[in-house]
Structure 1
Amino acid sequence: MWMPSAAEVLDIEDRFLAAVPGERIIESSLTVKFLKRVGVMLNPDSTATGDVVVPRSVPV
């Protein structure tokens, strides 16, 4: 799940637990920065720039 900020993690977890009574979250993991290597370029706010990166051929 993509979130604009880490501050939203607890809110999302709380909403999940409220929606599914009796369940519990055993473990939570957070990736702080994800480097996107191929595909649609993203702005700092995670919206698409409209630019697409096409991988170049690597000589063998």
Structure 2
Amino acid sequence: MDQATQNLINCRAYQLWETAGQPSGRDTEFWLIAEQEIAPSAKPAESVEARPEPAEMALVA
């Protein structure tokens, strides 16, 4: 996915988050919704939960 598409998805996810009342902990949900709206043929992004946290990465490195 190119940078321009990622920027569009980011902006749309932010709009969705604001409209929903800025709830905490739902960033992945809004990103995936925006991704499907902007680039429906794109493969879904890797879930944030599946990615190691920076602290976990530091322990592995």
Greater share of strand: 1
Task: Name which one, 1 or 2, has greater alpha-carbon Rg.
Answer: 1
Of structures 1 and 2, the one scoring higher in RCO (CA 8 A, sep 6+) is 2
Q: TM-score, normalised by structure 1?
A: 0.33
Q: TM-score, normalised by structure 2?
A: 0.33
Greater share of helix: 2
